[in-house]
Every structure is written in structure tokens, then in C-alpha cells.
Chains A and B, each alone.
Chain A
Amino acid sequence: AQSVTQPDIHITVSEGASLELRCNYSYGATPYLFWYVQSPGQGLQLLLKYFSGDTLVQGIKGFEAEFKRSQSSFNLRKPSVHWSDAAEYFCAVALGSNDYKLSFGAGTTVTVRA
């Protein structure tokens, strides 16, 4: 069965420090990969997505993610975190262009300390 794993439930980072959120998937082929962010009590906003091509993807709000086929990973990074980055982050996958069933990881909550 397909699955998406976010190993870190909660990460605390100092403002200005770098951030990396991990995401691993288990599929036979390369899926379509996404990162979403959710502020408390709000809907989800798409940060970035990977379909093919360059394995380093740039997104909004200064985020980037790198697809590593050998590790089945799609980790999200930000070089310098701002207090407004405190939120919950979800990794998601779709098996292909006809797959409407986006599968989400359990999420990683990011706390930013001053």
C-alpha cells in the first residue's frame, strides 16, 4: 500500500536558523510530490510541487525541496526561518496525473522561538 511518512511530529527552531522537514514515500514509481502548509484553524496552502525534471524545487515563502529518488525522500528546507513560519506542514503524494487521491503524511508542527 502506498504511504507517506513524516518522521518528525514536532520541530522547534530558533528564528533565523535553518529548517529541514523530512518526508519519505513508499511507491514503486516516482509519484507527484507536494508540500502544504497549514496555519492554526485554517485551510492548506501549496508551498511547492515536484513532477519531473530538476530535483531541486523552489516554492513560495523562501522554501525549497529536494527530491532524492535513491532515498525515496522529498525534504523541505528553508535557510532562515521567520516567526511567521510557525505552522503545520504536510507532505503529500499523488501516483500520477489521473490520481485524484492525494495521500498526506501525518504532518510536522513547527514552533519558532525568538
Chain B
Amino acid sequence: DGGITQSPKYLFRKEGQNVTLSCEQNLNHDAMYWYRQDPGQGLRLIYYSQIVNDFQKGDIAEGYSVSREKKESFPLTVTSAQKNPTAFYLCASSIAGRPPGLNEAFFGQGTRLTVV
């Protein structure tokens, strides 16, 4: 079955450590996205990539980094520079040339990151 897989579902890290969240899709979508979700704030775009080896900053990119070496994969690294990393992170994908929603957007199940 086609879809987006985020792993792990729950992740705990000590303050000051970098951590990488995985996002894999087998939908043959060119575009992939990372969102951060905090209670009462909806979703905020961190980074997005429209094509392999290219990505753009979203609204809250500071303290995060991404790579897009393969079409299927778009990992997100939460660095120690991110001041408040504890949140729910969602990955999404869409057909090339179309923002999520213009054609049906596919979201992963999310990763809940807790930094202690």
C-alpha cells in the first residue's frame, strides 16, 4: 500500500543533542514537507522540497535542517540550536508542482519528540 511512513512514533532526547526524524514515501510524489504542530497553534511549515537535492525554508526553519538525496526520503534534523524542540512533527507529500491540498495531500502519522 502506498503512503508516508514516519518513524519513530515517539522520540525522547536529552537537551543539547541533535535528533533526526525519518519520513519515507512510496507515492512517487516529488514534493515533501515538514510541519511542526503545537497545541493551539495549528501547523507551521518548517521546510519543503519540490525536487531531489533542492529544498526551501518555511516559516520556522531556524534550528532545523533537512536533506533530500532521494525522492522517497526527506529526513528532518532537529539541532541543539532549536530553542523549544518538544512538539509533534508531521511530514507530508504532494504531486509535483502542486502544493499540498490542490491534489490530495498525504500526511504521515507524525512523530512526537520530547526533549528532557
Taking beta carbons and an 8 Å cutoff, which residues of A are in contact with B? Answer: 4, 9, 32, 34, 41-46, 49, 51, 90, 92, 94, 97-102, 104-107
Contact = CB atoms under 8 A, between A and B. Distances in A.
Nearest to B59: A101
Given A9-B40, A104-B43, A106-B42, A43 B108 contact: yes
Interface of B: 4, 31, 33, 35, 40-45, 48, 50, 56, 58-59, 90, 92, 98-102, 104-105, 107-110, 112
A82 to B, nearest CB: 22
Nearest to B100: A102
Contacts of B98: 97
Nearest to A105: B42
Given A100-B31, A101-B58, A46 B43 contact: no
- Main SS of chain A's interface residues? loop
Contact of B42 (A49, A99, A104): A104
A45 to B, nearest CB: 7
A85 B4 CA distance: 23
B45 to A, nearest CB: 6
Given A92-B101, A100-B99, A43 B107 contact: yes
Contacts of B43: 44, 90, 92, 102, 104
A102 B40 CA distance: 17
A101 B48 CA distance: 9
B74 to A, nearest CB: 14
A94 B100 CA distance: 9
A102 B45 contact: yes
Contacts of A32: 99, 101-102
